[in-house]
Structure 1
């Protein structure tokens, strides 16, 4: 890297841009600039690693430009302490400097990083959610598909859901505070066609939903557990996961862990991937790992353990279970396999 540039933040500032960074691996979450600088310096771990990597979106724009911002979607490996492997960050920055110099927003910048090994494309749902969120944050109009979704939610039982676009549903989810959107969602959530509900849930997991919608989804989870409706349960868990109503979230997770779905692989993956913050409580984490240990398929337990222990906020609790003297026999065997593989 250039001797005067040691971080991506410095590279972006040397190019005269304004910028923001987001985690885009687990949930689209804005990263504080000071925190991101500490991550780049190796002074603190990456807070939300997924599958051994940090998935980062960097949005940047020329201070004098009127066009939409540029975005880099970047994937860097993390080490055993969940810190960025800085050599890969440096390699990416050097490739950028070779391809673009510090002219990051020049007219011919597009396409020059297409073959960069650290650039990735998020899945369609996450890309739509990110695009919708960015339009809200920079105060730009929603996509051309948004109006059709708004109209649909006024009478979902008579409109054809198959005409709706994923981007329109993402715009709706990111604009729940606009007009009647929140009230319409509350009125119709449980009667939405499965395909619409599934896509909308994939968007809502990135939204800090209100208490009233959290309560609605909590009831939906209870109903799904009572009726053993797995599809509704998955969608409701995903949709509720971005809520800041900690007590409601924890109660929902406890109910799932004590249900017929307690050892269902898909449900456990939802809990681990999207509701990890509820497992700060050691007893709840123990219940999750105990349930995961009862899944006989392949290396499922090892994958769950590796995912959770990589999250800095959970690492002490996960490691403490290794030393717990009164573990269930199934859990003890599963942990033993981790060290005998």
Structure 2
């Protein structure tokens, strides 16, 4: 057996072609060049999230006549830790590779691959929304047909939408995700705009969560920006931010965000929804806007929860390469409030498990 020194070597050994997707902050297809670079630790992992690489590996058999059969495609969901530089931790990667090779040696290639991730500490299961979006993106990339759920969503949106009706409850998340990946198409574009304007809040929220993985057409982006400044529901505000999050920060975001974040000396449960969306999905915005970062950290420091949320968001920002330096510049500044300075002093206390 040839020496296996990377994930690519492993997949070559078993005769599989691999396509990588990142499922961390949002879903991104990883280019072959990026895959080579992070796999061999030539570059940092391109999409770090909570100090891990969240990978979906699409494996297709390249041996013999089976290579064209869709049934041979397998998807592995891998969660691999990153080191302090944001590169793959080679020790854990090699431990994962060894576990796969051992299963193949003991059970044979077909059975070993089919059982590869059973009881593996490196496997993870995406949540229902993320899984629907990934399958929608994958089907589009592979030029596969839409699901039956897509037709149901299109039929619903073509009709008269009543924001108070519960008819949306029969629709599947898969159909909404398939609408989101097609917002660059004329009919789907108009139906998505109609949904944002008229559909019940749960449908709008689900659509926004699917849109966070897409590059948005300008008209849909502008519709979301307008709704962000008008919305009273804190959960929907966070959903609009998520839908906009893959794009670059635009000036039209400043006033709505500053207005919604409001008083620096207060941070209630409604504020947390928006702050959590910004921290999890929009570090690239925050890295470019020191004032936005300061408002978030001041509000969290003033929250009456023994600095629980402050510690969690600080950990989130300190683990991201774009926000790490701006965060510590802020926290070391002499021009922060006494309350924020007090919160900084509690950073090394034990971090609780959840935001209260």
Same fold (TM over 0.5): yes
Question: What's the secondary structure of 1:311's corresponding residue?
Answer: coil
Equivalent-residue separation in structure 1 for 2:327 and 2:91 (angstroms): 28
Give 1:195 shift.
Answer: 1.9
Question: What's the secondary structure of 2:4's corresponding residue?
Answer: coil
Alignment map for 1:243-254 (pairs within 5 Å):
243-244=247-248, 246-249=250-253, 252-254=256-258
Say yes or no: does 1:328 pair with 2:332: no
Alignment map for 1:103-114 (pairs within 5 Å):
106=110, 109-114=113-118
Give 1:114 shift.
Answer: 2.0
Question: What's the secondary structure of 2:19's corresponding residue?
Answer: strand
Aligned mate of 1:184, from 182, 191, 195: 191
Give 1:79 shift.
Answer: 3.4
Equivalent-residue separation in structure 1 for 2:39 and 2:47 (angstroms): 14
Give 1:230 shift.
Answer: 1.7
Give 1:47 shift.
Answer: 4.1
With over 3 angstroms needed to count, the CA separation of the structure-2 counterparts of 1:138 and 1:91, relative to structure 1, is same
Question: What's the secondary structure of 1:49's corresponding residue?
Answer: coil
Equivalent-residue separation in structure 1 for 2:41 and 2:305 (angstroms): 36
Say yes or no: does 1:221 pair with 2:224: no
Corresponding residue of 2:68: 65
Moved more, 13-22 or 183-192: 13-22
Moved more, 58-67 or 20-29: 58-67
Equivalent-residue separation in structure 1 for 2:250 and 2:31 (angstroms): 22
Aligned residues: 336
Equivalent-residue separation in structure 1 for 2:346 and 2:130 (angstroms): 35
Whether the 8 Å contact between 2:132 and 2:173 is mirrored in structure 1 is: yes
Equivalent-residue separation in structure 2 for 1:124 and 1:339 (angstroms): 35
Give 1:327 shift.
Answer: 1.5
Give 1:164 shift.
Answer: 0.5
With over 3 angstroms needed to count, the CA separation of the structure-2 counterparts of 1:112 and 1:82, relative to structure 1, is closer
With over 3 angstroms needed to count, the CA separation of the structure-2 counterparts of 1:156 and 1:318, relative to structure 1, is farther
Say yes or no: does 1:37 pair with 2:36: yes
With over 3 angstroms needed to count, the CA separation of the structure-2 counterparts of 1:285 and 1:45, relative to structure 1, is farther
Looking at both structures, which has the greater relative contact order when contacts are Cα pairs under 8 Å and sequence separation is at least 6?
A: 1
| TM-score, L = length of structure 2 | 0.85
Whether the 8 Å contact between 2:100 and 2:113 is mirrored in structure 1 is: no
With over 3 angstroms needed to count, the CA separation of the structure-2 counterparts of 1:305 and 1:152, relative to structure 1, is same
Whether the 8 Å contact between 2:53 and 2:82 is mirrored in structure 1 is: yes
Alignment map for 1:23-172 (pairs within 5 Å):
23-63=22-62, 64-67=67-70, 69-100=73-104, 106=110, 109-157=113-161, 160-172=167-179
Corresponding residue of 1:270: 277
With over 3 angstroms needed to count, the CA separation of the structure-2 counterparts of 1:295 and 1:31, relative to structure 1, is farther
1:182-223: CA deviations, max 9, x gaps?
111112313211221222122111111111100000000011
Question: What's the secondary structure of 1:180's corresponding residue?
Answer: helix
1:47-70: CA deviations, max 9, x gaps?
443334321212222343231632
Corresponding residue of 1:337: 346
Question: What's the secondary structure of 2:114's corresponding residue?
Answer: coil
Give 1:72 shift.
Answer: 1.1
Whether the 8 Å contact between 1:241 and 1:249 is mirrored in structure 2 is: no
Give 1:131 shift.
Answer: 0.4
C-alpha RMSD of the superposition: 2.7
| TM-score, L = length of structure 1 | 0.88
Equivalent-residue separation in structure 2 for 1:98 and 1:48 (angstroms): 30
